[in-house]
Amino acid sequence: MKNIKTNRTFTVWRKYGWLLTFIIAIGGLFEHKIGLIVPFFIMPGLMITSLFDGRFWCGNVCPHGSWYDSILLRYSKNKEIPRGFKNIVTIVIVFVIFIFILGSRVFKVFSNFSSLDLWDKFGFIFVTTYLVVLLISTALALFISPRTWCQFCPMGSMQKLLGKLGEETKISKNTDKKLTIIDRNACIKCEKCARVCPMQLKPYLEFDENNKFEDINCIKCKTCVNNCPKNILEIK
């Protein structure tokens, strides 16, 4: 099945949000406090939205995601993402390593709480983290597929965990939107929803008895909705 390059940016933010990635990753090298945007705005934002609507942030708000979909898609080889990157072992290892490194760096900075440049050092932690992620994910996007990093992204893993918590505690009962097929009988199994999916999922094969697509990796980006030739998909 050949993956198709198609428009994934349906809002102004999704088209230009990638600029924030460069402001943090590059601008933060000169003004370290710029990195404070991450722990005080981005991380709380993705954590809160995850409780109520799963991986919505990934597909609609994430600045890195904007970079992948708006810019890198046109240059990507857009190949099939290797299963190894989707493997639970890979996801857990990357998550644990990320949390350990981030936690140890934060502890080191705050162990000297009286330091005058405390907030510069704290911000710089997230500047360098953003820069490393930008470099690694860009390489993966160009040589494999734009959303390769998203398969094992630590923040994506956190969103999945919080999304599951939201479901189990019923917090997201009235807010968690799912990809839904309006009319199963109208589906012609053209596979286009799968071929345009940034996460390379296969909705047409996995709708449940309630016509919902329950895959926790769905980032609710509406790319499949906007490309369905029968107009029978929606996020609701």
pLDDT at 170: 95
Tokens read off for 204 = 């047409």
Q: Are 234 and 178 in contact (CB under 8 A)?
A: no
pLDDT at 1: 73
pLDDT at 153: 98
The per-residue pLDDT string of the chain (236 residues; one tens digit each, 9 = 90 and over) reads 789 999 999 999 999 999 999 999 999 999 999 999 999 999 999 999 999 999 999 999 999 999 999 999 999 999 999 999 999 999 999 999 999 999 999 999 988 776 768 999 999 999 999 999 999 999 999 999 999 999 999 999 999 999 999 999 999 999 999 999 999 999 999 999 999 999 999 999 999 999 999 999 999 999 999 999 999 999 99
Q: Count Cβ atoms below 10 Å from residue 110 Cβ, excluding itself.
A: 12
Q: Are 95 and 154 in contact (CB under 8 A)?
A: yes
pLDDT at 114: 67
Alpha-carbon gap, residue 216 to 168, rounded angstroms: 13
Alpha-carbon gap, residue 151 to 217, rounded angstroms: 8
Angle, helix 43-53 to helix 154-168, in steps of 10 degrees: 40
User: What is the pTM (predicted TM-score) of this model?
Assistant: 0.94
Domains in the chain: ranges and CATH: 12-168 (no CATH), 179-235 (3.30.70.20)
3-state helix, strand, coil in the chain (%, to 5): 60, 5, 35
Alpha-carbon gap, residue 50 to 231, rounded angstroms: 27
